[in-house]
C-alpha cells in the first residue's frame, strides 16, 4: 500500500532535488532577542521582491475594490482644496505668496495627503497583517516600508493634476530650485517612515494608537502650514512649527514647484534633524521589539 502511494505522490509532485534556486544559503542562528536593534541589510535585500509584492497587493486590492480608484485618489485633495479656497482664500484672504490660492493649497495638500494616508494605514500595518506575522517569517520591517511606498502612486496622480492646474492658472516654477522638489518629498517619506515604524510597533501592544491617529490628523494640516505660508506667522511660532518636519516639506515643495517664499534654512535644518531623529528612534524601537511581535499581537 505504501509503495504505490509513494509512487503516485512522487509522480504528482516530485521534483528533482537539484532544481533548487540559490536562496539565503547561509547558517541561520537563532538566539534570544536582545534589546539592541539590528539592521541586517543583506537579509533585507534578499527579501526585496517581497516588498514589491506587498506594494502590488495593496494597490491591486484597492483598485479592485473601488472601481474608480484613481478618481477617488484625486477627488479627496481636490474637494479639500475647493473648500479651503473658498473659506481661507476667498473669505479669510490668507496669504498665498503671490500664487493663485487654489493651486497653492492643492500643491500643499499633495505631500500632506501622502503623509496622512501613509501614516493612517502604516500605523496599523502589523496588526492588519497579523496572520502573516504569526505564521511566516520575513523581516517585519517590509510591512511598514510597503505602506509608505504604496501612496506614492496617489502622489504621482495628484502631481499630474497639479501640472494641469498650473498650466490652467499659468503658475510656473520660479527657477532652478525645482530640482530640490524630490528632496522635500524624500523628507516627507523619512518623517512618515520613522513615525510608521514606531507607531506600528507600539500598536502591537497598545491598540490606542489606532484611535489616536485620526485625532491628530484633524489638526495636523493646519499645524503643517497647508492653507497658509509660514511667513505669515511670528518668527518664534515659525520655529515651533518647524519641529514638525511636514511644515518644511510643504513650504519647501511649494517653493520648488510654485516659487512661493523659500523656507528659512535654519528652520529647514531643524525639520531635517527632527525627521532623522524620528527615523532612528522608530527603527530602533521597531527592530528591538520585532522578535516579540508574534507573541504580543
Partner 1 sequence: MGDLAITADGLAKRYRIGEFQASYGTLRDSLVGAVKRIGRRDHSARHHEEIWALDGVSFELAEGEVLGLIGGNGAGKSTLLRILTRITAPTRGSAEIRGRVGSLLEVGTGFHPELTGRENIYLNGAILGMKRREISAKLGEIVEFSGVERFIDTPVKRYSSGMYVRLAFSVAAHLEPEILLVDEVLAVGDAEFQRRCLGRMESLGESGRTVIFVSHNMQAVAQLCDRAILLEQGKVVLDGDSGDVVARYLQSGLGSGSNRVWPDDASAPGDDLVRLRWARVVDEHGGLLDAVDVRRPVGLQIAFRVLRAGVPVMPKLKLVDKRGDVAFNAFDTSPRWRQPSASGEYVATAWIPGNLLNEGLYSADVAVCSIAAPKLHQHFQERAAVAFHVQDPGEGDSARGTFTGQWRGVLRPLLEWTVETR
**Interface with partner 1 by CB under 8 A: which residues?**
1-2, 5-6, 8-10, 12-17, 19-21, 23-25, 27-33, 49-50, 53, 57, 60-61, 64-65, 129, 131-138, 205-208, 291-292, 294-297
Nearer to partner 1, 127 or 232 (CB): 127
Q: Is 258 exposed, middle or buried (0-12, 13-18, 19+ CB in 10 A)?
A: buried
Q: Whole-number minimum distance, CB 206 to partner 1, in Å?
A: 4
Nearer to partner 1, 132 or 180 (CB): 132
Q: Whole-number minimum distance, CB 28 to partner 1, in Å?
A: 4
Nearer to partner 1, 56 or 237 (CB): 56
Which residue from 105, 99, 262, 103 is spatially nearest to 184, judged by alpha carbons? 262
Quick check: 295 and 45 in contact, CB under 8 A?
Answer: no
Torsion of CA 88, 90, 95, 99, to 10 degrees: 120
Q: Whole-number minimum distance, CB 147 to partner 1, in Å?
A: 15
Q: What is the C-alpha separation between 208 and 278, in angstroms, rounded?
A: 20
Q: Cell numbers 503623509 correspond to what residue?
A: 115
Q: What is the C-alpha separation between 144 and 196, in angstroms, rounded?
A: 6
Q: Whole-number minimum distance, CB 182 to partner 1, in Å?
A: 28
Quick check: 283 and 30 in contact, CB under 8 A?
Answer: no
Q: Whole-number minimum distance, CB 208 to partner 1, in Å?
A: 5
Q: Whole-number minimum distance, CB 111 to partner 1, in Å?
A: 29
| Contacts (Cβ under 8 Å, ≥6 apart) of 38 | 287
Quick check: 104 and 97 in contact, CB under 8 A?
Answer: yes
Nearer to partner 1, 119 or 142 (CB): 142
Nearer to partner 1, 13 or 265 (CB): 13
Residues 149-175 as b/e (b if ≥16 CB within 10 A, e otherwise) read bbbebbbebbeebbeebbeeeebeeee
Nearer to partner 1, 10 or 179 (CB): 10
Which residue from 263, 22, 249, 267 is spatially nearest to 113, judged by alpha carbons? 249
Q: Whole-number minimum distance, CB 52 to partner 1, in Å?
A: 8
Nearer to partner 1, 128 or 220 (CB): 128
Amino acid at each position: 500500500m505504501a509503495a504505490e502511494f509513494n509512487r503516485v505522490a512522487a509522480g504528482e509532485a516530485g521534483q528533482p532535488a537539484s532544481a533548487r534556486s540559490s536562496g539565503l544559503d547561509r547558517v541561520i542562528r537563532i538566539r534570544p532577542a536582545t534589546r539592541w536593534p539590528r539592521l541586517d541589510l543583506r537579509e533585507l535585500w534578499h527579501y526585496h521582491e517581497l516588498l514589491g509584492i506587498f506594494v502590488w497587493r495593496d494597490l491591486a486590492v484597492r483598485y479592485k475594490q473601488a472601481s474608480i480608484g484613481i478618481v477617488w485618489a484625486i477627488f479627496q485633495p481636490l474637494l479639500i482644496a475647493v473648500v479651503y479656497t473658498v473659506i481661507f482664500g476667498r473669505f479669510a484672504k490668507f496669504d498665498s505668496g503671490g500664487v493663485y490660492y487654489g493651486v497653492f493649497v492643492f500643491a500643499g495638500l499633495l505631500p500632506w495627503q501622502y503623509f496622512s494616508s501613509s501614516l493612517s494605514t502604516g500605523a496599523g500595518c502589523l496588526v492588519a497583517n497579523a496572520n502573516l506575522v504569526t505564521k511566516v517569517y520575513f523581516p517585519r520591517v517590509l510591512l511598514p516600508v510597503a505602506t509608505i511606498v504604496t501612496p506614492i502612486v496617489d502622489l504621482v496622480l495628484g502631481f499630474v493634476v497639479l501640472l494641469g492646474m498650473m498650466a490652467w492658472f499659468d503658475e510656473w516654477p520660479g527657477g532652478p530650485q525645482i530640482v530640490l522638489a524630490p528632496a522635500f518629498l524624500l523628507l516627507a517619506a523619512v518623517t512618515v517612515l520613522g513615525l510608521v515604524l514606531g507607531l506600528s510597533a507600539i500598536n502591537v501592544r497598545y491598540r490606542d494608537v489606532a484611535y489616536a491617529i485620526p485625532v491628530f490628523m484633524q489638526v495636523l494640516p493646519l499645524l503643517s502650514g497647508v492653507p497658509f505660508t509660514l511667513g505669515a506667522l511670528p518668527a518664534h511660532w515659525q520655529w515651533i512649527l518647524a519641529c514638525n518636519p511636514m511644515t518644511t516639506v510643504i513650504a519647501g515643495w511649494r517653493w520648488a514647484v510654485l516659487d512661493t517664499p523659500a523656507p528659512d534654512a535654519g528652520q529647514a535644518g531643524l525639520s531635517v534633524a527632527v525627521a532623522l531623529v524620528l527615523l532612528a528612534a522608530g527603527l530602533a524601537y521597531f527592530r528591538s521589539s520585532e522578535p516579540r511581535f508574534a507573541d504580543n499581537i
